[in-house]
Amino acid sequence: MKRIITLTLLIFIWQPLISQEIQESIERYESLKVESHSKLQQIRKTGLRKKQLKRHSNIERTSDRSTFDLKSLDSLITQEWDHNLNAWENDVRERFVYDTNNLLTENLLSIWNSNTQSWQVFQKDEYTFDGNEQLVEQLTYFQYIPGTWNLYEKVEFSYDANSNETMETRYLWDAVNSIWIPSYKYESTYDMNGKITLYSGFEWFPGVSQWLNSFKDEYFYTNGVLTSELSSYWNYGTNQWDNASQVFYTYVANQLITEIIQTWDLNSNLWINVNKMEYTYNTNSFLASEILSLWDTNSNEWELHYKDDYQYDTNDNLSEGLYSEWDETSDVWESYYKDEFVYDLNFTLADLILPYFYERDIPQDISSINNMLIGYFGFEYINQVWVDNQKTLLYYSDYDNPLEVNEFESLEAFNLYPNPVNSILFIDSQMPIDKVTIYTITGQKVKVIYSDVKAIQLDKIPSGIYLLQIQSNDRTISKKLIKK
C-alpha cells in the first residue's frame, strides 16, 4: 500500500472538472461519519495539533538564528512525469502566508492548466488563531470563475484547559440564503492523564434542527498504553449503537508490533478478522517496515499483501520509502513504488517557519523530519527499472532550492550519460563548465571538480541517488544522478 507521505505538501490529487471536485468533497464528508479511526489515528490527531501550533514560539526560543534569519516555507510545486513528452508537467502549487507571529493565515492552491500553460488558482484556506496560538477557525473557498471566491466550508475548533482539542464543528456555506449550515461535529473526551477515551461524531439534521449520533470510537488502555479500540455506528432504526469494528494492539518494549482489525458480521453476530499490520523498527526506534496481511475466510489464515520499508539518514530524517506487493505465485515481494526525500542539513526545524499542518500527514510512528525538506521524488518500477513518476520541490524565503531544474534548459545546456552510471560519467556540454559538484541526497558534498570536465570517474562512489550541480558562467544547473 503505497503510503503518500506528503505533509499536505504532497497529497493533493485534483480532478480536472470542478464538479467532480465538489462531488468528491461531499462524498468525503459523508465518509467521515462512517470511517474507522484505527491505528491511533484520532489520538495522533487530537494530540498533535497542540504540538504543531506551539512549534513557532518554540522555534524562536531554541534557534540560534534571529527571527529575521528564519526561513519560511513559502510555496511548493508538485509535478508529474509525462511519459509521452518525456518531461515534467506541472500539477499543483501551494502558497503560504504567515502573520507577524509566524502563524499560517492563508493557504492558496493552484492547479496547472495544460491548455493555457499557466497556473489557475482554485482553492483558498484562511486560518484564525487565538491568543494561545491555537487554531480556532478555518475557512475554505473555491474559485470557479477567475477572480471570484466562493465560500464553501467553515471549521471551528474548541480546546480544554490543557489545550486538547475537544470539538471540531463543520459547516457548509448556503450561497442561496447566505448562511452557514451545520454538517458534522466531532467531540473528544480525555482522561485525567490527557489520553483520549472517546471520539464521537454527529450529523446535523435540518428537519429537526439538531445534532444526531453518527459514530463513536472508544479507546481502552492498560497501564496507560492503548491496547484496543471499539468503533460503533448509530442505528436510527433501533435507536441504539451497533458494533462496527475493533482494533487490538500488541507491544514489545513499548513498541507497537502488531495491529489486528476486525469487523462485526451482522449475519453471524461475530467479529471477523479483516487485516493485520506488523511493524519492525531500526536501532533508533524508528519504523523500519510494516507488513499488511489480509484474512482469508476460506483458509482461515492470514495472507501477505503489502509491505512498506523505510530508511533514514544520519540525522534520522526519513529518506526513502519502498513499497512492495506480495507475489503469491513466486512467494516473493515485488517492489512497485519508491519515495525519496531530499533535505538541506544546514537548516533544522528550529530554523524554519512552517504551516501548522506540516506534520499532519506524516505517520507518527515514522516521524522523522528534523531538517529542511527541499524535495520529494516518487518512482514507479516498470520493466525492472525505476522511472520518474512525481516530484515536489519546496521553496523557502531567501533560499534558492538546489533541486530547481529547468528541464528544457538543462536539456539544451548539457547531457549526462550514462545515467544510471557504473563508473565513468560523461558530460556533453554546449558551454564551458566552471565547476561540477556532486552531493548526496542528504546534502553532503562528495566530489568537486574545478575545470571544463568532460568525464568524471565515479567508481569509488557508493551506489545511490546524487545531485550533480554544474556551474557555467552566471548560472547553476542541477541534475539527479543515479550511481549503480
When the pLDDT of each residue in the chain is averaged and rounded to a whole number, the result is 81
Q: Give all strands of the β-sheet with 424-429 in edge-to-edge order.
A: 414-417, 424-429, 455-457
How far is the CA of 172 from the CAs of 25, 67, 156, 320, 407, in angstroms?
A: 11, 38, 12, 39, 42
Rounded CA-CA distance 320/63 in Å is 27
Range from 39-48, 178-187, 456-465 that averages highest in pLDDT: 178-187
How does strand 135-145 pair with strand 210-222? Answer: unpaired
Largest CA distance in the chain: 80
| Spatial CA neighbour of 36 closest among 183, 176, 231, 209 | 231
The single-letter DSSP state of residue 15 is -
The single-letter DSSP state of residue 69 is G
Residue 442 has pLDDT above 80, yes or no: no
Bigger pLDDT: 179 or 7? Answer: 179
Summarised one tens digit per residue, pLDDT across range 218-276 is: 999 999 999 999 999 999 999 999 999 999 999 999 899 999 999 999 999 999 999 99
Question: Is residue 289 a contact partner of residue 308, using CB atoms and an 8 Å limit?
Answer: yes
Rounded CA-CA distance 37/40 in Å is 7
| Spatial CA neighbour of 67 closest among 464, 351, 355, 394 | 351
Q: Is the pTM of this model over 0.85?
A: no
Summarised one tens digit per residue, pLDDT across range 171-188 is: 999 999 999 999 999 999
For the residues of 307-328, what is the DSSP string, one character each?
EEEEEE-TT--EEEEEEEEEET
CATH T-level topology, domain 412-483: Immunoglobulin-like (2.60.40)
Summarised one tens digit per residue, pLDDT across range 131-180 is: 998 999 999 999 988 889 999 999 999 999 999 999 999 999 999 999 99
Task: Quote the strand ranges of 282-420, DSSP E.
Answer: 287-296, 301-312, 318-327, 332-348, 352-353, 371-382, 385-396, 414-417
70's enclosing H/E stretch is: none
- Classify 339 as helix, strand or coil: strand
Residue 9 has pLDDT above 60, yes or no: no
- Residue 263 confidence (pLDDT): 96
- Residue 368 confidence (pLDDT): 77
> Measured on CA atoms in the order 162, 166, 172, 178, is the torsion positive or negative?
negative
- Residue 441 confidence (pLDDT): 67
Can you tell me the mean pLDDT for 304-318?
Answer: 92
Residue 56 has pLDDT above 60, yes or no: no
- Residue 3 confidence (pLDDT): 41
Can you tell me the mean pLDDT for 105-115?
Answer: 91
CA angle 225, 227, 229 (to 5 degrees): 125
Rounded CA-CA distance 422/453 in Å is 18
Where are the chain's structural domains? 18-404, 412-483
Can you tell me the mean pLDDT for 278-292?
Answer: 93
**Alpha helix (H) ranges present in 152-215?**
none
Can you tell me the mean pLDDT for 8-23?
Answer: 33
Rounded CA-CA distance 469/481 in Å is 10
Question: Is residue 87 a contact partner of residue 70, using CB atoms and an 8 Å limit?
Answer: no
